[in-house]
Amino acid sequence: MSGSITMRGVRKSFHGTEVLKGVDLDIEAHSVVCIIGPSGSGKSTLLRCMNHLERMDAGLMLVDGDLAGYTVHDDHLREASAQQTSLVRRRMGMVFQQFNLFAHLTALQNVTLGPVRVLGLPRAKAEAEGRALLASVGLSTHAAKYPSQLSGGQQQRVAIARALAMKPAIMLFDEPTSALDPELIGEVLAVMKKLTTAGMTMVIVTHEISFARDVADVVVFMEDGAIVEQGASEQVLSAPTSPRTAAFLRHVSHAPRLADGEAS
């Protein structure tokens, strides 16, 4: 698994409102892609379509060249079975805005649950790997703590370790710092920045423009369910060709950071 994603003509509607309007996107294996744009532009929905948490209404997606979410039968597309979709989804790890940890499980138990139940890893091996992952995100002394005993930044780092425990080829981050107090953002971004050096494909929906400038190979600007501009990070963030991209970047560089999440 190398970790490339190809999307063509992706559309998605909710209650009669089209929130993705024929999106075409190519994500190269081992690249870091940051998706930026105003709230409600469809960024989170696009990310959720990538791992089939949302079903596309139209369009195609390929993961490492394999058709994802559909099968071909008599030259027609049919929705894939739950089992087939699960196999594609397993190639991706996802980190959400709101951590989504199991409150009744410790940090280590949250990290090891998937490898034991889904991958069939022996518990002792899963726990050894889980402890190593918690150490890699700076939480080696917090393995036995429950989510309620951890700060928001610590919980999000557990969520990152949990996603990595499934050994994905691709990591998806849906505005991972939006629910954090400003002083906790840096610790999560530092872990993510460390991951970018490991060669893993990463797709990050973010409002943290300075972070995107530091880590992204490619920046995608979305508005109103469509990609307005995409290209090399330095080009899009420093010399955008679209007036709308330029206006957005001027706005976010002067606006105070919002603590609530994106409603897209």
Class of residue 80 by CB neighbours under 10 A (exposed 0-12, middle 13-18, buried 19+): middle
Distance separating alpha carbons of residues 62 and 58, to the nearest angstrom: 14
Query: pLDDT tens-digit profile of 65-122?
Result: 887 777 766 666 677 777 777 777 788 999 999 899 999 999 999 999 999 999 999 9
Question: Domain extents for the chain?
Answer: 1-91+173-264, 101-167
Higher pLDDT pick, 84 / 184: 184
- Per-residue model confidence (pLDDT) at position 137: 96
Confidence of residue 156 (pLDDT cuts 50, 70, 90): very high
H or E segment at 67?
strand 66-67
Global model pTM greater than 0.75: yes
H or E segment at 222?
strand 218-223
Among residues 147, 165, 142, which one has the least CA distance to residue 104?
A: 147
Q: Hey, what CATH class is 1-91+173-264 in?
A: alpha beta
